[in-house]
Structure 1
Amino acid sequence: MPELSYYVILNANAGTANATGIDATALARLFEARGLLAAIDARKELPLSERIADAMRSEAPTVVAAGGDGTITALAAALVGSDKNLAILPLGTVNALAKDLHVPLEISEAVAALATGETHRIDVGEVNGRIFLHKVVIGLIPGVAAGREYIRGRQDTAAKIGFLRYFFRRLARAKRMAVVIEPGEGERRIERVQAIAVASNSYDEGVGRFFSRQSLDRGTLTLYVLHHFNMRDFLRLTTSMLLGRWRDDEALSVETVNSVTINMRKDLVKVMFDGEVETLRTPLQFAIRPKALSVIVPAEATATVAAA
């Protein structure tokens, strides 16, 4: 009997899973069509942690996250330091890591890419012992992201208009917060800020490049500090991003660090953790774990990812 090659964890509630009709049967057919032996876990009645534990106990060398960024981050946290690889079938709304790794966003093409995919090691970020793959954001943005939950899954115009109103109300009422920033190799300082983001590696400039990373293995964190963010800042910064030259914006400072501690008066703080709103305990202690995660990258993208 041939050995199991892939263990697939399917999140049927991910952003595009229902819209595209992707279920366990459809996925199994896609793998079979490519001659790939896979176990499909679509047990949505079980906690994700139990499903991940079963995947880790399986004989499959590659565990596939068929879902959005939240599913991918949860699975990656278990895979860090193991001998298993992470592969992605993007079924989320943003699909940030899939885009960074040049994984096709069309599911049949993503499955096809697994057949010839190659392993590549990438960095992961860590905050208070928890693994993140993209960024952790503190301040204005988590509040805005929380409002997004009210329209999740809705495409009607009324929902979109309602979210825009919510966004601009939050923007108008937003207050700066005092934070203590202590880089691992730098001086401790206190700043009043609108928001702070800590990212694994750094986001690239370039026309049409919105929060994308060409390199995921530089071994550094990037600290983005948004000092103020009113309507004028929003319009200017958005325009700068469209033109691909946002890093020098007057409202923003950018700093490369290996580690950083961020503290404030609150014992608990809401953050946007790889796209999901969560509550963490302060102080927030960030570090980078260089090349701690093995991922499957499409063969045609390997040279691009490795050379960046």
Structure 2
Amino acid sequence: MGATDLAGHAARQDTTAGGPPLFIVANAGSGQHDLRQTRETLSRVFGEAGREFHFVDTDGPGSVVTVAQAGARYAREAGGVVVSVGGDGTTNAVAQAAWDAGCTMAVLPQGTFNLFGREHGIAQDLETAARALLRARAEPVQVGEVNGRIFLVNASLGLYPQLLQDREAFKRRFGRHRWVAILSGLVTLFEWRRQLALEIELDGQSTLLTTPTLFVGNNRLQLERIGMESAVAERVGEGRLAALIAKPIGTGTMVWLMLKGAFGRLGEAEQVHSFAFRTLTVRVLGMRKLKVAADGEVGVMAPPLRFTVASRPLQLMLPREEDLVPVE
């Protein structure tokens, strides 16, 4: 079959096998993977299987959202699946587009952490995950939402978004290395002095508090790894999100808490309060706008912020039982 242009973004590969067509959004900026090699691998796997597939290409990180929206639109019109090939940020963009369009999505992890894919038993090896996708089934999965923005893994405000933003700035300057991420984190911790004055409303009751950061999780794997209390983490994914709020603390204590989280013992720290919830409304006193991170992508929102389990689930292609990969 010949190549066909899809809205100027992609080349089409047509086949005759059954199964919904796949519209692939591959982010060249995710992790350290070569886009050409990624395309070659997926073309071989899907071509050998006789599956219809389309590449909806990005021109760089800035175009991921636009191209994800195009891929989701094509998938909805064709009764197909929009496929995210990238890290958690790319997956978030595709999930938002798929959720808005009401179409099914799939994930082929290619980033650094890939927490969403790992939690759902999706292989981290591209070819293995692609072969599992050919046999996968669509299942509903819970997603979080903050002021209309979908998140799969976490959302946050205060110190954590600043850590993410500074880390990306350091990586652009010094390269994508682990030591660069550690250095940027230490610099941010020692420079951060701001405490947020919040009014949080939970179950009809309002509480005033001061904190350097508020973290909301929708990924049980991440929460378990940092050591959040099991009674809280185990409710995530069952109609609940989890919140983590740090008490007002100095730089030294914040570094100590970060180390606690790295070693999976954050739940032991008395300086941290955590709880599960369905809906949490947050008003930020004295601020009209602030930075909010969702799955590693930082944006600006106007309070009040309403964190909630999304009104409907995301339809996600999940591996069959024999293709599930144990959590590492």
Please give the TM-score of this superposition, normalised by the length of structure 1.
Answer: 0.83
Partner of 1:145: 164
Structure 1 position 188, deviation (Å): 0.6
1:134 to 133, 146, 153: 153
Partner SS, residue 198 of structure 1 = strand
Distance 1:220 1:260 in 2: 11
Change (3 A) 1:103 1:201: closer
Partner SS, residue 91 of structure 2 = helix
Partner of 1:187: 205
State the Cα deviation string for residues 97-139 of structure 1 (Å, max 9, x = none): 1111111111001101112222221111111112111111111
Partner of 1:116: 135
Distance 1:53 1:297 in 2: 18
Partner SS, residue 238 of structure 2 = coil
Residues 227 and 265 in structure 2, CA contact (< 8 A), matched pair in contact too:
no
Residues 223 and 257 in structure 1, CA contact (< 8 A), matched pair in contact too:
yes
Change (3 A) 1:166 1:111: closer
Instruction: Give unpaired runs (5+ residues) of structure 1.
Output: none
2:93 to 74, 80, 83: 74
Distance 2:77 2:256 in 1: 50
Computed over aligned residues only, the root mean square deviation of the Cα atoms, in angstroms, reads 3.2
Change (3 A) 1:37 1:130: same
Higher relative contact order (CA 8 A, sep 6+): 1
State the Cα deviation string for residues 205-233 of structure 1 (Å, max 9, x = none): 36999xxx788630112111011363244
1:286 to 291, 296, 307: 307
Change (3 A) 1:164 1:132: closer
Q: Is 1:10 the counterpart of 2:26 in the alignment?
A: yes
Structure 1 position 61, deviation (Å): 2.6
Distance 1:201 1:290 in 2: 17
Change (3 A) 1:33 1:205: same
Structure 1 position 161, deviation (Å): 5.2
Distance 1:218 1:205 in 2: 15
Partner SS, residue 71 of structure 1 = helix
Change (3 A) 1:109 1:12: same
Residues 152 and 219 in structure 2, CA contact (< 8 A), matched pair in contact too:
no
Residues 72 and 88 in structure 1, CA contact (< 8 A), matched pair in contact too:
yes
Partner of 2:13: none
Residues 97 and 134 in structure 1, CA contact (< 8 A), matched pair in contact too:
yes
Query: How many residue pairs were aligned?
Result: 298
Q: Is 1:262 the counterpart of 2:282 in the alignment?
A: yes
One-letter amino acid matched to 2:56: D
2:49 to 34, 53, 63: 34
Partner of 2:245: 225
Q: After superposing the two structures, state which structure 1 stretch, 251-260 or 70-79, moved more.
A: 70-79
Change (3 A) 1:39 1:174: same
2:185 to 155, 167, 170: 167
Partner SS, residue 116 of structure 1 = coil
Partner of 2:5: none
Instruction: Give unpaired runs (5+ residues) of structure 2.
Output: 1-15
One-letter amino acid matched to 2:319: P
Q: Is 1:92 the counterpart of 2:108 in the alignment?
A: no
Q: Is 1:200 the counterpart of 2:221 in the alignment?
A: no
Change (3 A) 1:153 1:61: same
Q: After superposing the two structures, state which structure 1 stretch, 171-180 or 73-82, moved more.
A: 73-82
Taking the TM superposition and a 5 Å limit, the aligned residue runs for 1:40-59 are 40-44=55-59, 47-48=66-67, 51-59=70-78
